[in-house]
């Protein structure tokens, strides 16, 4: 069992949970839902494990590349406020 962790912000108890991450990129915003994270029960602050943060970064990079090539071939798709939501 993991040792009980305390939130560095408020000293609340941290428990395994899920969070939603948002990335504001140059031309679009990407939100990723249901990301496994440690969440403070008191203030709601969430903490990602190192390897999950890496996976998420890779995912965001890939989505960004895919979207860039997609919007190049489909320039008629909304010029601004592109938003992509991913649920994992």
Task: Using CB under 5 A, list all residues that contact Zn ion.
Answer: 7, 9-10, 12, 40, 42-43, 45
Please identify, using beta-carbon distances, which residue of 10 and 88 lies nearer to Zn ion.
10
* 63-70 own/partner pairs: CB under 8 Å, 24+ apart: 63/30, 64/25, 64/30, 67/27, 67/28
Please identify, using beta-carbon distances, which residue of 5 and 58 lies nearer to Zn ion.
5
With contact defined as beta carbons under 8 Å apart, do 22 and 56 qualify?
Answer: no
Please identify, using beta-carbon distances, which residue of 21 and 30 lies nearer to Zn ion.
21
Query: Least distance (Å) from Zn ion to the CB of residue 45?
Result: 5
Query: Least distance (Å) from Zn ion to the CB of residue 18?
Result: 16
* Contacts of 82 by beta carbon, 8 Å cutoff, 6+ apart: 27, 28, 29, 67, 71
Query: Least distance (Å) from Zn ion to the CB of residue 85?
Result: 26
């Amino acid at each position: 069992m993991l040792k009980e962790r305390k939130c560095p912000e408020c000293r609340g108890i941290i428990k395994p949970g899920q969070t939603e991450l948002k990335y504001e990129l140059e031309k679009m915003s990407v939100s990723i839902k249901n990301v496994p994270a440690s969440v403070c029960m008191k203030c709601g602050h969430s903490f990602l494990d190192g390897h999950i943060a890496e996976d998420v970064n890779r995912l965001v990079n890939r989505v960004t590349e895919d979207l860039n090539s997609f919007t190049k071939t489909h320039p008629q798709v909304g010029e601004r406020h592109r938003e992509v939501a991913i649920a994992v």
